[in-house]
A and B are shown apart, each in its own frame.
Chain A
Amino acid sequence: MNQGNSSLRTGPESWVDEHGDVLFRFALARVGKVDVAEELVQDTFLAALRAYDQFRGDSQERTWLISILKRKIIDSFRNKKCDSNTPHDQSVDSWLESLFDNRGQWKNAPQTWGVRPEAALETEEFWNMFQNCLNKLPTRMATSFRLRELDNYSAEDICKEQQLSTSNLWVILHRARIRLWKCLDLNWFNGEQGS
């Protein structure tokens, strides 16, 4: 019996209680379907069990499991076909339109975020605010934004998963970014708590 085996004894079953919800939430935020998210969590645990001997413990168990889950999510995207027949999204984003006048000029001119906006990144409040802004995005925008900007998945993989054309994807990303930008602006850089 080696040490690897003895730690195996305390590992896997406790994963479900310790990390199950977090992995499930992570997957659900990216694939949007409960049954698909559940299956991804299961696949992650199974892959983790097989690879457990290679887990050196040099990263946290949860970080390690998340990294496996991220690979599983990519695999599930790649099993889908890219839907090139998706009609181009012609819907009008009236919220976004309302930021501009009828000549296409900003109604409220963007203001500076100061000479050193990076200073904000050092405070916990900033990150909580960012997370709140992220959670306020409409579901579809949030999913695409998470996949592209947080997980750094390729546009091609995201299009497959979301059944979108690339031009649809960047319209969605544009809308998501502007919402986040406005949220950061109002709640931090040029709002009441502005620093």
Chain B
Amino acid sequence: MSIFSCKHVAKSINKSLEQQLSLKESLTVRMHLLMCQNCRFFKRQMLFLRRVSRLYSNRSAYQSDGPQAQLPPKSKQRLKNLLQNLRDSKDSES
């Protein structure tokens, strides 16, 4: 990888969030960051994004994010019956 390529360095920065970089790669990133303010912003903002993501997962919106899908009505009925039956048998045990 080229020490002058922001494209490569950006990729390495993201890789470093997942795994330890090789000595060579990590030195290249560090040298590049010394001379490139753009990538220094990028790195700081990537770390911020990670923090935002972790915080988001503690919020209630997180529990209902994703595609606006619904459990099919048939499955709902089947689940209700199942829970009803199991609860009844649990009650009669106690």
Chain A residues with CB under 8 Å of chain B are 5, 8, 12-13, 15-17, 20-26, 28-30, 34, 38, 41-42, 45-46, 49, 62-63, 66, 99-100, 103-106, 109-113, 117, 121, 127-128, 130-131, 134-135, 145-146, 149-152, 155, 166, 169-170, 173-174, 177-178, 180-181, 184-185
Contact = CB atoms under 8 A, between A and B. Distances in A.
**Contact-residue bracket for chain B:** 35 or more
A121 B52 contact: yes
Given A41-B79, A45-B83, A170-B14, A26 B53 contact: no
A28 B69 contact: yes
Contacts of A24: 69-71
Interface in B33-48: 38-39, 41-42, 44-46, 48
Contacts of B61: 127-128, 131
Sorted nearest first, the 7 A-B pairs with minimum C-beta distance are: A29-B66, A104-B5, A104-B7, A149-B53, A174-B14, A24-B71, A110-B41
A25 B53 contact: no
